[in-house]
Amino acid sequence: MNKDIPEFSLQRMPVYLNYLRTLPDDGNYNFISSGAIAQALGLGEVLVRKDLAYTGCAGRPKVGYPRIELISALENFLCVNDAKSAVIVGAGGLGRALLCYGGFKNYGIELACAFDTDPEKIGTEVGGKPILSVEQLQESCKKYGAVLAIIAVPASAAQQTAELLKKAGIKAILNFAPAQITACDGVKVINIDVAANLAILASML
């Protein structure tokens, strides 16, 4: 699902969800207008209405969106209630930081384990998750029913890792290695190059 929705709209859905979840349950936010959401998030009101229309939750004129319903609609949209299993390849600094990060649960994502090639790391645990050998990648991904993966290996190993993950049945990859992953048919990839993002920001100054 969600294949035909503009990428930028898709990227804002978690932002709306996070914001609505932080509002207090004190009765003052049973309804919230697109204008209020737009202002809080620094977005245009028309844009907010357009984005939220994709969730199927309808705002009521002069009242706004019923907040709890809108949260549910966004959660459905993002499949938060479908438990999904993810693995990390690379248990260096970044991989370890992600293993300890609790935020995946908010989206129904369970980190199962990480893989590494370093014998000193294999067999240990980080954040309560086991570090396994890359040689166990295929069987472990199947065992955990993993469909998502995070690549946190050096740039030189990124493409090879993506191909290995594809063979193991992974359907979507978040790539932190500073190397573009290409030609991995049937697998969705988002590349996140931290240094490049900082460079883009700098070039806009």
Binding region for its own copies (CB under 8 A): 1-3, 10-11, 13-15, 18-19, 40-42, 77-80, 82, 84, 86, 92-94, 96-98, 100-101, 103-104, 106-109, 147-148, 150, 171-174, 178-180, 182-183, 188, 190-205
d(CA 92, CA 4): 36
- Interatomic CA distance for residues 109 and 174, integer angstroms: 13
* Residue 128 is assigned to a ligand binding site: no
Task: Compute the least distance from the CB of residue 61 to its own copies, in Å.
Answer: 26
Closest approach, Cβ 151 to its own copies, in A, equals: 12
We find the least distance from the C-beta atom of residue 62 to its own copies, in angstroms, to be 25
Give the contacts of 108 (CB within 8 A, at least 6 positions apart): 79, 80, 81, 82, 83, 84
162 is in an annotated binding site: no
The closest of 71, 66, 70 to 30, measured between CA atoms, is 66
In degrees to the nearest 10, what's the CA dihedral of 132, 135, 136, 139?
A: 160
Closer to its own copies by Cβ: residue 119 or 204: 204
For residue 52, the SS3 value is helix
Q: How far is the CB of 173 from its own copies (least distance, A)?
A: 8
Residue 95 annotated in ligand binding: yes
Task: Give the closest residue to 18 by CA, choosing from 74, 94, 99.
Answer: 74
State yes or no: 86 annotated in a binding site.
no
Q: Residues comprising the binding site for NAD(+)? A: 90-95
Residue set of the binding site: 90-95
